[in-house]
Amino acid sequence: MTRLLAAFRRPGVWAVLRRHAPTVFGLLLLAGAVFVVQREFRHLSLAEIRVALEAMPARALWVAAGWTVLAYAVLTIYDRLGSVYAGRPVSYLRTSLAAFCSYTLAHNIGVAAVSGAAVRYRFYAAWGLSPGEIAKVIAFTSLTFGLGAMALGGVVLILEPQVVPWAGTHTPAWLMRLLGLVLVGVVTGYLLLSRFLPHFTAFGHRIDLPGFRMACAQTVLAAVDVAVTAMIFYALLPPAEGLGFLGFVGLYLAAYSAGLAANVPGGLGVFDTAILVGLQPYIPAPQVISALLLFRFYYYIIPLFLAGALFAGFEINQRRHLLTRIGPETRVTDSLEGPALAGLSGLAGAALLFIGALPARGSRLALWAGEWAALASHFAASLIGSLLLVAAYGMLRRLRLAWVGGIVLLLLGGLVALLRGEPWFISGGFLALAGLLACIRTAFYRHARVTGEPLSASTLLPLAISLGAALTLARIGWREPVADEPWWAVPFRPETPHTLRFAVGLSGVLLVVAALRLLRPARIRPAAYDMAAQARLAALGARVPPQADGALFAESGAGFAFLKLADVWVGLGDPAGDEAGRLAVLWRFRDLCERNGVGHAFHQVGPEMLRLYEDTGLAGHALGDGRFLVLPAGADPEALLAQLSEFKI
C-alpha cells in the first residue's frame, strides 16, 4: 500500500491522471448509456419513432421554436452582466454576439480549442479588454449557470424529492430533500458573501465578488435560463399524467448534469439515455425519442450553423489586415476553423449512425446499383459513421491522416445517402463539408505515428488488425440478416446466429479501436540545448540565450529555445524561420507541453505574432519595451516574471 501511494504521488502519475481521467470517465458513462439503452429499449421499433415524429403537432413545433429564441435571448444577458462585473461594460449588441457564438460552439463541439472561454477571449480581446478583465467575464458567466442550476435543482428536490427515478425511487425522501437544502444553502451562502464580503483571497489569488444586487440578478437569470431551456423540450412532449413541469425540470437538470460529467459534446448519448430512462414511467419511448431529436435540432443544430457563420465572419473581418502579410500556406492554420470543421465532421458521423438505423427510402440510383446496394446501406452507413467519429477525433488533434480520412469518409457517406434515397440536401451536406475540409489543408499539420515514424510493432499491430477487421466486415456486410442492420445492432439481435454476432461485434470494435491507435500523433522530441542546437538557432536568426533546457524545431527548420519551469514551459523569444514553420513549431510546442501536463508561455516576443499566440490560448502582457510576455489567460504574469528573473536569459 505504501508503494502504491508513493507511485501516485509522482508528478508524472498525476499529470497522466489530469490529462486522461476526464476522458476515461466520459467514455465509461457513454458505454454505460449504450448498455442501458440496449437493455431497456431493445424492442423499440424505428417505425414507431417515425410515426411519432410525423404525429408531432405543428403548434408544438412553433411553441418550441419560440422557447428556443427566448432561451438564447436569456443567454445573451450573461455576458452583458459579466462585462459590467469586470468593470468594462460592453454594448449589448456585442455581448450578444459573443454569448451566442461561445455558448453554441461550446455546447456542440466541447473541445478546448473552441470552448466558450477561447471564443470569448477572441471577441473581448478584439474589443480592447485586458486578459484579466476577460478572465473575470469568463468566470462570471461560468458561475452564473451553476448558481441557477443549484437554485432550481434544490427547490425541485425539496418539493418533489422522488422526481429522479434512477435515484429518487431508491433513496429516502428525506435524503433527497437534504440534498436540495444543501444546494439552496450554497446559493444562499454565495448571496450572503456578496452582501457582506466584497473580496477574498484563495490559492494566492484575489477574488472580487459582485455586489448583492448583481449576485441576485445572476441567480434569477440562470434559473430562468434553465427553466426556459427545459420548456423547449417539455413543449415537444405529449401530456403525461403525473409529470408536471417542475418534475420535468428536475429530470432535465439530472440528465444535463450527467451529460456535462461525461465530457462529450452536447452530452451526446448520456443526456439522451438519462432522459429516456427518466421519462420511461410517463411517456412511451418513441415519443420521447422524437422529442429528443427535435430538441437537439432546435437547441443545438440550427444555432450551431448560425453561430459558425457569425464567428467565421468575425474572424475574417479581424484578419483582413493579416491576409496581405501572411503567405497562402499559413492563412488558415492559425485559426479555429479546423477544430470547428472537425466538430461538424463528428456530427456528420453521428448523423450517419442514425441514418443507418432508419429504413432506406429507395431511389432510381439504388435500383440502378442493384438490391445489394440498398441492403448494404444500413451496415455501410453505420460503419462509415463510426469511423468518421474516429477521424473527427484525429482532426481535433490536427492530424493530416485524419483530415484525409475524414474527406474520404464524408464522400462515402454522401454516396451511401444517395443510394439510400435520402433527400438531396443530406448528401449535399456531406459533400459540402468534404469540400470545406479540402480547402483548409494547412490546418492539419501534424503527422500520425503511422506516417511520420518508421514502422514499429506498436504501429504494425493495429494496422494489421484494422485491415483484417475491415476486410471481415466488408465480406459480412453484404449478407442477410446483417446487411439490413447497423453494425453495432447486429450483436444484440437474438435472431442473428451466434457466430455471426461474435464476428461482427468483435470486428467492429477492433476496427474502431485500431483506428484510434493509428491516429496517435507522432512523438515530439525536443533537441538538447547543445552547441549544435545553438548553431542551428543562430543560423535561423532566433534568440540564442546563454541558458535553456532544450530547443524545438519544425520540419521546415523554424525553431526556438525554451526553459522548463515547475508548471509551465517558456519559449524564449519568437520562433524564427519561414512563416509556415514558425506557426507549425508554435503549435508543436503547445502539444509538447500538453503531453507533459504543463502550461506553455513565451517571453520577450514581438507584437507581430501576438495574434498567433492568442490562437494557441495565450494572452499578451506588455513588458514596457515593445516586447511581450504571452501566457495562459488568467495566469499571473508577475509570478512568472519572478521565476524567470532567477535565470540568466
Between CA 296 and CA 233 the distance in angstroms is 9
pLDDT above 90 covers a percentage of the chain that reads: 5
Which pLDDT band holds residue 231 (cuts at 50, 70, 90)? very high
Residue 375, pLDDT > 60, answer no
Q: What is the pLDDT of residue 325?
A: 41
Contact 102, 308 (CB under 8 A): no
pLDDT value at position 264? 65
218-232, 432-446, 541-555: which range is least confident on average?
Answer: 432-446
Phi and psi at 555, nearest 5°, equal: -60, -30
- Mean pLDDT value across residues 477-505: 65
Choice among 346-350, 557-561, 567-571 with the minimum mean pLDDT: 346-350
pLDDT, greater one: 453 or 408: 408
CB-based contacts of 3, cutoff 8 Å, min separation 6: none
Give the pLDDT band of residue 114 (cuts 50, 70, 90).
Answer: very low
pLDDT at 45: 58
Which of 323-327, 455-459, 597-601 bottoms out in mean pLDDT, i.e. has the lowest? 323-327
Tell me the one-letter amino acid at 220: V
* Tens digits of residue pLDDT in 82-91: 888 888 888 8
Q: Which fold has domain 531-644?
A: Aminopeptidase (3.40.630)
3-state secondary structure 555-599: CCCCEEEEEECCCEEEEEEEEECCHHHHHHHHHHHHHHHHHCCCE
| Least confident stretch, 124-133, 296-305, 360-369, 640-649 | 360-369
CA-based nearest residue to 311, from 469, 151, 599, 118:
118
Q: Please compute the mean of the pLDDT values over residues 631-648 and round it to a whole number.
A: 77
Q: Which of 344-348, 494-498, 625-629, 630-634 has the highest mean pLDDT?
A: 625-629
CB-based contact 136:214 (threshold 8 Å): no
Across 553-579, average pLDDT: 86
Q: Among the listed ranges 384-393, 414-423, 447-456, which one has the minimum average pLDDT value?
A: 447-456
pLDDT above 70: residue 166:
no
Confidence of residue 407 (pLDDT cuts 50, 70, 90): very high
pLDDT at 68: 92
pLDDT tens digits, 54-89: 788 888 889 999 999 999 998 888 888 888 888 888
Residue 597 backbone phi and psi in degrees, to 5: 70, 30
Give the integer Cα–Cα distance in Å for 316 and 426. 27
User: How do the domains of the chain map onto residue ranges?
Assistant: 11-303, 329-518, 531-644
Segment among 110-119, 310-319, 325-334 with least mean pLDDT: 325-334
Better-predicted residue by pLDDT, 416 or 237: 237
pLDDT confidence tier of residue 341, bands split at 50, 70 and 90: confident
Residue 408 has pLDDT above 80, yes or no: yes
Sequence letter at residue 11: P
| Residue 160 to residue 168: CA distance in whole angstroms | 9
Instruction: Look at residue 326 and tell me whether its pLDDT is greater than 50.
Output: no
Name the one residue in this structure whose C-alpha cell is 473575470: 136
> pTM to 2 decimals?
0.62
Instruction: Please report, rounded to a whole number, the percentage of residues in the chain having pLDDT higher than 70.
Output: 72
**pLDDT: which is higher, 301 or 373:** 301
* Local confidence band at 329 (pLDDT 50, 70, 90 cut-offs): very low
* Poorest-pLDDT segment among 198-207, 282-291, 535-544, 584-593: 198-207
List, as one string, the DSSP characters of 267-311: GTTHHHHHHHHHHTTTS-HHHHHHHHHHHHIIIIIHHHHHHHHHH
Nearest 5°: phi and psi at 45?
A: -100, 135
Query: Is pLDDT at 520 greater than 60 in this prediction?
Result: yes
In this structure, the strands spanning 618-622 and 628-632 are antiparallel
Local confidence band at 347 (pLDDT 50, 70, 90 cut-offs): confident
Q: What is the DSSP letter of 160?
A: -
